[in-house]
A and B are shown apart, each in its own frame.
With several copies, the nearest count.
Chain A
Amino acid sequence: MPSDRPGANLPPLSLYVPEPRFRPGDTVDFTEVVLPPAGQARRPDTAEPAHAFTDLAYDLVRVLDTDGQAVGPWNPRLSPDTLRDMLRSMVTVRAFDERMFRAQRQGKTSFYMKCTGEEAVAVSAAFALDRDDMCFPSYRQQGLLVARGWSLVDMMNQIYSNKGDRLQGKQLPIMYSVRDASFFSISGNLTTQYPQAVGWAMASAAKGDTRIAAAWCGEGSTAEGDFHSACTFASVYRAPVIFNVVNNQWAISSFSGFAGAEATTFAARAIGYGIAGLRVDGNDALAVYAATAWAAERARTNQGPTLIEHFTYRVEGHSTSDDPGQYRSAGEASAWPLGDPVTRLKDHLIAIDEWDEDRHIAQDKEIAEMVRAAQKEAEANGILGHGLHQPLDTLFDGVFEEMPWHLREQQAQMIAEETASGRPWARK
């Protein structure tokens, strides 16, 4: 231990431990957050090598300006129809989140996670990718499914682990798997999907396929070793993959400083591997679209991987299991200068005369109604804890392709137990 050692003439070291700027009760002031104006960031040609635009990892790609106009070289020039479709998807995601959150609070299921304030990140990506590009999401990209037109009822069935649940109640709510929507099975273990996405992309390249892969993780999750393995593999084999880092500034109760945000941006991680890096306004649906389309073009033309940091803010708690009021200032969400992605896209559509408040209100109502109807339909299949929704013996399906003797024995044992219980099959 230090006391009896030489070198006492040197100044003592001290341990730095990050601290977020605001804690419960603090008044929030984000004036220090530097936000480059929309339209300013340059857009390199997709054929340019990664080292030619490392500045973009410290910049912020923004398209929607304060007047709701789409400006600058990243403007993806989408048709009003597409913009309206995107808006609709985002509104649907939000309505879905609200209902399912409430359903959990009503005891209809065990768990839920919202993506409020981050809807653009997933929805715009889904619009910019081809529908058969393979997505390796984390748990906060329900927007991908919604934007790909996947059935809300099917998603809710999964959340309720009911008899309509294709995953047979095996997974925690929201851990979807939708092969038909090119949406990979979500894992509870953070960032494991990153090297998997690279593997899928490498396989696609090896086969001369044209489909690319995209992966998502939170800024907190970038600390896992899998992130590094993935970036290294992607760099070495120039894999056609898009890495999305959703920097919503919080990882449960830990602010992004514990993932390294005080030292640099998350987009800068790309520079470390010599791969392309972009930092994007994650609350700007057009910027996310443009960045994704650009990265997809690079991937599809064998220019290799791109890492996109989506700078956004987690408006709600981490999940139904925590209360953010215990660790951060309640004022952050409203003070956050990048605004709300739904409002911003709506304002843009209004600014270009392709939308109005009345239509928006009407759509809100219509979508709320649709989500409510979906919920009703899903609940007709059952809710968690009310009855046995899956045949008991499905518990043993899918451990292996064919069930070995020890699982068959255990399956028989379980069925005998149910009989012995005197209330067979009604246990749940």
Chain B
Amino acid sequence: MNMIQAINSAMDVMMDRDPAVIVMGEDVGYFGGVFRATAGLQAKYGKTRVFDTPITECGIIGVAVGMGAYGLRPVPEIQFADYIYPALDQLVSEAARLRYRSAGEFIAPITVRSPFGGGIFGGQTHSQSPEGIFTHVSGIKTVIPSTPYDAKGLLIAAIEDNDPTLFFEPKRIYNGPFDGHWDRPTQNWSQHPAGAVPEGYYKIPLGKANVVREGEALTILVYGTMVHVASAVIADAGVDAEIIDLRTLVPLDIETIEASVKKTGRCMIIHEATRTGGFGAELSALVQERCFYHLEAPIERVTGFDTPYPHSLEWAYFPGPVRIGEALKKVMKD
């Protein structure tokens, strides 16, 4: 399966198991979503469980919160993560706060799916990575898969979870992993081991990272598309890096991170989002606080620049192999 199919399968499995699961969003019904992630679900489960919505992200999330309070488990889609901002108040002031402010009387067990990230010439409003806004908000979980296998297992876990969860899908790797070389041919998921996705139910717990490569020389903290870019750079460079795919940003798997950095003594953090105040800042702060006496070099952040995502210069913006390679040299120096 490619990642779209895996995501589709997760929803299919959950809709089949639990009549409370419903899917809603702009164009998700008959059409099956602009990226086809919900294809076939309306035909299978009917219009009252899979339906198109008016174009109001505020309404989509607000309605989902109300449905959640009733006892459903809505899985709303926000068509592009860049369009999540009109829903911010409903996510931050409502979904994230409901359990707390009602001392558990009402909950918002919603899973908001949204494709994010650049690398498809989408320009500044089809490319953003806004996860750093949400990781700062108490009461919301943030999950980002990097393979079809993970996407399915994590999405099932998110749907079963009783807290509001943002599930950001790295759209650049929907069809296949991406090594960061935009001008080279790309692989399909069928050629990748994590493209082998079981048909049925399985889950990957939220809050557990995945060590995609063990190593001794440095620790690389990464998620989404950048897992593959980082892996390719490391393979090329022949550095014995430990690459940790975070999978869940909140709650974070701090144990795995801490153990790794204490072992390697060096740390590099990579994300596509703008640098200042990105989730990389939190990772850097945490690693520094917990592994200070083990660090042999400054922690390096490799990120998108603090500009909007440009259209034509998108590969100059993207934290690709060259940027990662330069940072790698720095973090491995002395």
List which B60-100 residues lie within 8 A (CB) of chain A: 61-72, 74, 82-83, 85-86, 89-90, 93-94, 97-100
- Whether the pair A253, B310 counts as a contact (CB closer than 8 A) is no
Bound CA span A327–B36, Å: 12
Nearest residue in A to B303 (C-beta to C-beta)?
A: A410
Q: Bound state CA distance, A416 and B61, in angstroms?
A: 39
Chain B residues 21 to 68 lying within 8 A of chain A, measured CB to CB, are: 22, 26-27, 29-31, 34, 47-49, 51-59, 61-68
Cβ–Cβ < 8 Å partners of A206 in chain B = 22, 48-49, 72
Q: Measured between alpha carbons, how far is A396 from B326 in the docked complex, in Å?
A: 20
- What is the minimal beta-carbon distance from B190 to any residue of chain A, in angstroms? 24
Q: How far is the CA of A200 from the CA of B71 in the complex (A)?
A: 9
Contact call B59/A230, Cβ cutoff below 8 A: yes
The answer to whether B86 and A224 have CB atoms under 8 Å apart is yes
With a CB–CB cut-off of 8 A, which chain A residues contact B66? 136, 195-203, 213
In whole angstroms, how far apart are the Cα atoms of A398 and B101 in the complex?
8
Tell me whether A252 and B124 are in contact in the complex, defined as CB-CB below 8 angstroms, given that A167-B102, A199-B64 are known contacts: no
CB distance from B246 to the nearest CB of A (A): 14
**B138 close to chain A: CB less than 8 A:** yes
8 Å CB contact of B56 from A232, A401, A418: A232
Interface range for A: 35 or more
Interface residues on chain B, number (Cβ under 8 Å): 87
Whether B298 is near chain A, meaning CB under 8 Å from some CB there, is no
Residues of A within 8 A of B325 (CB): 420
Query: Do A161 and B83 touch across chains, with their CB atoms under 8 A apart?
Result: no
B215 CB–A CB distance under 8 Å: no
Cβ-based interface call for B297 (8 A): no
Chain A residues lying within 8 Å of B52, measured Cβ to Cβ, are 253-254, 258
Q: What's the least CB distance linking A257 to chain B, in Å?
A: 9
Check if B105 is an interface residue, CB within 8 A of chain A.
yes
The answer to whether A417 touches B326, judged by C-beta atoms less than 8 angstroms apart, is yes
Q: With contacts A167-B103, A223-B55 known, is A395 near B307, CB below 8 A?
A: yes
Residue of B nearest to A23 (CB): B30
Interface status of B193 (Cβ within 8 A of chain A): no
Residue of A nearest to B310 (CB): A170
Q: Which residues of B contact A259 (CB under 8 A)?
A: 54-55
User: When the two chains form the complex, which single residue of B63, B68, B93, B254 contacts A187, counting CB atoms closer than 8 Å?
Assistant: B93
- Selected interface stretch from A120-128, A146-154, A177-185: A177-185
B202 at the interface (CB under 8 A from A): no
Q: Which residues of B contact A207 (CB under 8 A)?
A: 70, 72
- The answer to whether A179 and B106 have CB atoms under 8 Å apart is yes
Q: Are A224 and B72 in contact (CB under 8 A)?
A: no
Interface string of A183-197 (1 = CB under 8 A from B): 011011110101111
| Residue A229 CB within 8 A of the other chain | yes
Q: What are 26 A-B contacts with C-beta separation under 8 Å?
A: A111-B123, A169-B313, A177-B101, A184-B106, A185-B98, A188-B125, A189-B85, A189-B86, A190-B55, A195-B90, A196-B65, A199-B64, A213-B66, A223-B55, A233-B63, A252-B27, A327-B30, A394-B313, A395-B313, A399-B139, A401-B161, A404-B251, A406-B251, A417-B323, A417-B326, A428-B316
Binding site for B on A (CB under 8 A): 1, 14-15, 17, 19, 23, 110-111, 134, 136, 161, 165-173, 175, 177-179, 184-185, 187-190, 192, 194-204, 206-207, 213, 220-221, 223-226, 228-230, 232-233, 236, 251-254, 258-260, 321-322, 326-327, 384, 389-390, 392, 394-401, 404-407, 410, 413-414, 416-418, 420-421, 427-428
